[in-house]
Structure 1
Amino acid sequence: MLSWEEISLRLILAAIFGAVIGVERERKDWAAGMRTHMMVCMGSALIMLVSSFGFSDTAGNEYIELDPSRVAAQIVSGIGFIGAGAILFLKPTTILGLTTASGLWTVAGIGMATGGGMYFAASVTTVLSIIILWGLQPLQKKFSSKFQNKTVTIVTKKGLSPRFVIDRITDGSNLDYNSISVTKQSKENIIEVKLEKPATTGFKDIIADIQENEDVKKITWNK
């Protein structure tokens, strides 16, 4: 049986490891932030302790057969419920939260490793997780088209016809458009243009010219 000092050390380390990864998610204002990651990691460590040492009083009984891995194995499948709650389906083609969900699953593994006394494995996984979540993001944004400008939203005053903006956008542009939508409100028009491929320099120049119009209130780019 472990001493109370060792039990405390494992639970505290699990909370710290979870907090380190949670802070990275917290700074992006995701629903699953620091406290969620801390609880998942520490809870996984506790379950691992229970699985490994919680049945020591019945060990050795010839009528009882214990498998320490059975309780811990349920963490792997059970954490999927929390991960699913972190995934947001905004539109049929827009899904957010997959990275957070996979992070929670990894944090559960870190907690299991810490609860099992595998401090080095838990520490290395924590460091690698931070590198993946935070350190590699600038590199991904640079080379992945997913993070490049593909959607532009133009907000104009009510007096400016949406046709003027649409004709200006499509005139002389060789880009493929996924969709062009117009939403008319009481005081303004919202024109959303979605591109099949990232915007070219020529298309951005057209948008810059449109922005010079005094009836254009705001133009925003999204990935």
Structure 2
Amino acid sequence: MLPDLELITRLGLAALLGGAIGFERERLSWAAGLRTHMLVCVGACLFMIVSAYGFMDVLQHEHVSLDPSRVAAQVVSGIGFLGAGSILLRGEIVRGLTTAASLWTVAAIGLAAGGGLYFAAVAATVIILIILAGIKPLERRYFSSRQKREVMISAERGMLTLHVLEQQLGPVTSRISTFIVQQQEEASKVDDVLIAFSRMSESDFHMLLDKLRRIPGVLKLDAKGQPERRTY
């Protein structure tokens, strides 16, 4: 069995490393934050210790052999239920997959700390923090310029056509991938126009919205679910 000091060291290191990753999630106000990640990491560490050293008395008997990784192996699949609980469906958008993945990797860090692989546990923590905190701004900046932008516009009947957009927007109209016009059921003199633009950065999209608002006949503009009204 492990000495008490070594046991406390492994559990304490697991709490510290799990807390470092949990702090990053807590900073973004996710449901699985600081305490959740610490508990998962310490729990996985304890499972590893129990799996490796908890059955030493039994092994003293003749013809008895145990797999020291058996209990620890169940953590890999068992942590899935907790990760699933952090995944949310908001409309058509799934949120929380990164937090679920961080819980899964924190469990692995706990297993490494429980097995005495201190360097592997610390190195994995540093790498995960770089992935969570360091790469996110780069990811957001890279994909924002390649994101599909959609706008729902309510306009006076017949006032918003492709010809009008070409006159008002100029070369930007070449980026239109979808243009759908439907008459409103409750207002026969109003059209609902769905326009989708491809490969457009966020700054260019905001400039485009300003131009769309100034088009004569536009009554209402809804971009990314945030309605903006224009009064006449």
- TM norm structure 2: 0.74
d(CA) in 1 for partners of 2:104, 2:156: 50
What is the CA distance between 1:130 and its match in structure 2? 0.4
Map of 1:138-177 to 2, 5 A cutoff?
138-145=137-144, 148=147, 150-151=149-150, 162-164=154-156, 171-172=165-166, 173-174=173-174, 175-177=176-178
Compute the displacement of 1:121 (Å).
0.3
CA-based RMSD of the aligned residues comes to 3.5
1:58 counterpart SS class: helix
Q: Is the 8 A contact 1:48 1:116 kept in 2?
A: yes
Separation (CA, whole Å) in 1 of partners of 2:183 and 2:44: 49
Distance 1:23 1:2, change over 3 A: same
SS at match of 1:136: helix
- Indicate how the Cα distance of structure 1 residues 195 and 64 shifts in structure 2: closer, same or farther if over 3 A, else same: farther
CA shift, 1:63, in A, is 4.0
Structure 1 unpaired stretches of 5+: 155-161, 185-190
TM-score, with length taken from structure 1: 0.76
Assess, with a 3 A threshold, how the Cα gap between structure 1 residues 81 and 209 changes in structure 2: closer, same or farther: same
The one-letter code matched in structure 2 to 1:57 is D
Q: Which structure is larger by alpha-carbon Rg, 1 or 2? A: 2
Cα shift at 1:147: 7.5
Which residue is 1:79 aligned to?
79
Q: Does residue 68 of structure 2 align to residue 68 of structure 1?
A: yes
Residue 205 of structure 1 corresponds to 207
Shift, 1:144, TM fit: 2.2
SS for the counterpart of 1:195 is strand
CA drift at 1:60: 2.0
Question: Secondary structure of 2:58's partner?
Answer: coil
Match of 1:53 in 2: 53
Task: Spell out, residue by residue over 1:25-67, the C-alpha distance to the aligned partner (whole angstroms, 9 max, x if none).
Answer: 1111111111111111010001001001111111121242211
Q: How many residues align?
A: 207
CA displacement, residues 2-30 of structure 1 (integer Å, 9 cap, x when unaligned): 11111111111101101111111111111
Q: Alpha carbons of 1:36 and 1:194: their partners in 2 closer, same or farther (altered >3 Å)?
A: farther
Q: What's the CA shift for 1:203?
A: 5.5
8 Å CA contact 2:149, 2:205 repeated in 1: no
Q: Percent identity?
A: 43
Which AA in structure 2 matches 1:176? S
What residue in structure 2 maps to residue 132 of structure 1?
131
